[in-house]
Structure 1
Amino acid sequence: MSIVSEPILRRKIADEVFARLKFLIESGELSAGDEMPSERELMERYGVGRPAIREAMQALASKGLVEISQGERAKVLRITAESIIRQVDLPAKLMLSGSADSLEHLKSARIFFERGMIREAAVKATPEHIAELEALLERQVQNLGDADAFIEADMDFHQYIASISGNPIFVAVSGAMLGWLKAYHSEMLIWTGRENFTLTEHEEIIRAIESRDADVAEQAMIKHLERSRALYALKNRK
């Protein structure tokens, strides 16, 4: 059946309220930080009941357009690359949890992405950037033996490299991929001496960035990520 001959379905009241509230945001009538109209005001404006208003507000919140706090009016959120990508966080984790292939694809995507980020860093890094990377490496050294803190510092190291690009979309993508992978990071990393390989490789990456040699930096990153990709695996699968 073509779209022109499909039956026209009556929209739920909550869906219509959602569409109108979304238009207020899209049109700029309500901007980031503005409070949404009260439930009573919206009920009177649109001639609908409280359940329809609340359902529409929840739909706006689920799409990252507003923030709902207990006892306060909902507020329009500022749309950022991070807030947009956060909307796919749960579906991405569910996809990964059910498919070994998806996890392998994510590992490969991460390597492809970080190859580009390291080349950007080699071109754009300042002495201040190098100093911050060295501080992050030292934080890892100080957290040897503490798996959670060590891995957190590891993630911050890689995300900081993405931030050197100056592109907030790259930073958001980096943070998302690292967050999705974190759930599958094997505890084998700690207590086996493998954390020392990580420290050595991070040092090599810093020196390559500092030398401003994009080719050497890229090869250092590939070696690091190819070695560590085996440390990410689906758990509790038979």
Structure 2
Amino acid sequence: MDNPAFAFEKALKNKTKKDILADKLTDMILTGLLRDADELPSERELSQLFGVSRETVRGALSRLTAYGLICVSHGSKTRIRAGDEALARFRSTHPESATCEMNRYDVNSVFESRIVVEAAIARRAAVNIDACGIDELDSLLRAQSQLFDSPVHFQLSDQNFHKRISEYAGNEILMRYAEELYAFGLNIRRQVMIEDGAIERSYQEHRHIVDALSNGDPDAAERAMLVHLDSVYRTTKNKLAD
């Protein structure tokens, strides 16, 4: 599979990688995954997380700066600007950028759909993924193993992890559904990830998925994905009930 990272979005929307990355980061701010005063990963880290060049990252960050959604200070970390005033100003000039439509649905309906879609993705990926793809996922896991105390960075990596697997499934419709379903309740997932042991648990579940994919075992890949989704579902539902 040749450079799949942004193939579907680019074909669908005719946007550059810079535009697509800027849209992704904007969505993360609007859904509450990235919050006011959060520090963004470095250009190098964002480049690795999203599989794009640092030039692409700089271009995307330049757009967010123009939107007034980030603050870039020389010699310090880039921070999110997502206070009420900044968000209201952005929405007034970008009325098409509504918050995630998936959040209109209840958690049970969303995860029933994720089970169907991502189980199929895991089975197809186990058949289609190559050694390069496994190396890429292993690299993501190595990075995730260092992020147990960094919920924002881990969530960014988590999204990329699921996206990479869906790309290797080789079905653009499933990939699009998976990405939309993933966007449900990202603000809630942010709250889950700050709980003790939550990131490490998710990392271990990712490890089992990659082990199954590396063995080319569709049944094991589906089981590992379903175990992971059940964990995400239960912790999300419990947090919604708090």
TM-score, normalised by the number of residues in structure 2? 0.55
Query: Which residue of 83, 89, 104 maps to 1:95?
Result: 104
Query: Which residue of 185, 194, 197 maps to 1:181?
Result: 185
For the residues of structure 1 that align with 2:239 and 2:228, how far apart are their CA atoms?
A: 23
Provide Cα deviations, 1:143-166, integer angstroms capped at 9, x if missing partner: 221111111111111111100022
Report how far residue 91 of structure 1 moved.
6.7
Q: Which amino acid in structure 2 is aligned with residue 122 of structure 1?
A: A
Q: How many residues align?
A: 150
Partner of 2:122 in structure 1?
A: 118
Unaligned runs of 5+ in 2: 1-13, 16-95
SS of 1:142's equivalent in the other structure is coil
Confirm or deny: 8 A CA contact 1:186 1:231 kept in the other structure: no
Unaligned runs of 5+ in 1: 1-31, 34-86, 97-101
Report how far residue 174 of structure 1 moved.
1.8
Report how far residue 129 of structure 1 moved.
0.6
Distance 1:95-1:138 versus aligned 2 partners, 3 A rule: same
Report how far residue 121 of structure 1 moved.
0.6
Partner of 1:66 in structure 2?
A: none
Query: Which residue of 140, 144, 152 maps to 2:144?
Result: 140
Structure having the higher Rg: 1
Confirm or deny: 8 A CA contact 1:122 1:208 kept in the other structure: yes
Report how far residue 234 of structure 1 moved.
8.6
Q: Which amino acid in structure 1 is aligned with residue 151 of structure 2?
A: A
Report how far residue 233 of structure 1 moved.
3.9
Query: Which residue of 155, 162, 166 maps to 1:162?
Result: 166
Distance 1:237-1:230 versus aligned 2 partners, 3 A rule: closer
For the residues of structure 1 that align with 2:130 and 2:161, how far apart are their CA atoms?
A: 16
Q: Which has the higher contact order (CA 8 A, sep 6+)?
A: 2
Confirm or deny: 8 A CA contact 1:185 1:233 kept in the other structure: no
SS of 1:122's equivalent in the other structure is helix
Q: List 4+ stretches of structure 1 deviating above 4 A.
A: 87-91, 234-238
Confirm or deny: 8 A CA contact 1:122 1:209 kept in the other structure: yes
Q: Percent identity?
A: 25
For the residues of structure 2 that align with 1:178 and 1:142, how far apart are their CA atoms?
A: 23
Distance 1:119-1:236 versus aligned 2 partners, 3 A rule: closer
